[in-house]
Amino acid sequence: PSVMDLAGICSSFQSDLDFCPDCGSVLPLPGVQDAVSCTRCGFSINVRDFEGKVVKTSVVFNKLGTAMPLSMEEGPEFQGPVVDRRCSRCGHEGMAYHTRQMRSADEGQTVFYTCTNCK
């Protein structure tokens, strides 16, 4: 029996060679070492158990020009809710707003107001 078969007897997860049978994390790809170790819990499996396993990767690029540019009216700053706030430039009542996390997560979000009249 392989190490994975033995691990399946007392493991928390039913898995294949891509996942750690102890914690369920994705196992790294085999390298030059004799064993593959889980970076989360330290579970180790002999690299010979990966013999015959094929790993295939592919990168697919979008065709040039398939991305549609956003017009000014489609940006996130013009799609937000509208609040009763007077524009300092034109005096129009009603501004759209959106928020963005500009700094670390422990600080509040920054609110951006955009006049629906001036844009």
What's the residue count for the chain? 119
Q: Where are the extended beta strands (E) located within the chain?
A: 35-37, 44-46, 82-86, 93-100, 110-115
Residue with tokens 């060679």: 17
Question: Is 10 a known ligand-binding residue?
Answer: no
Q: Residues forming the annotated binding site? A: 20, 23, 38, 41, 87, 90, 115, 118
Q: Residues forming the annotated binding site for Zn(2+)? A: 20, 23, 38, 41, 87, 90, 115, 118
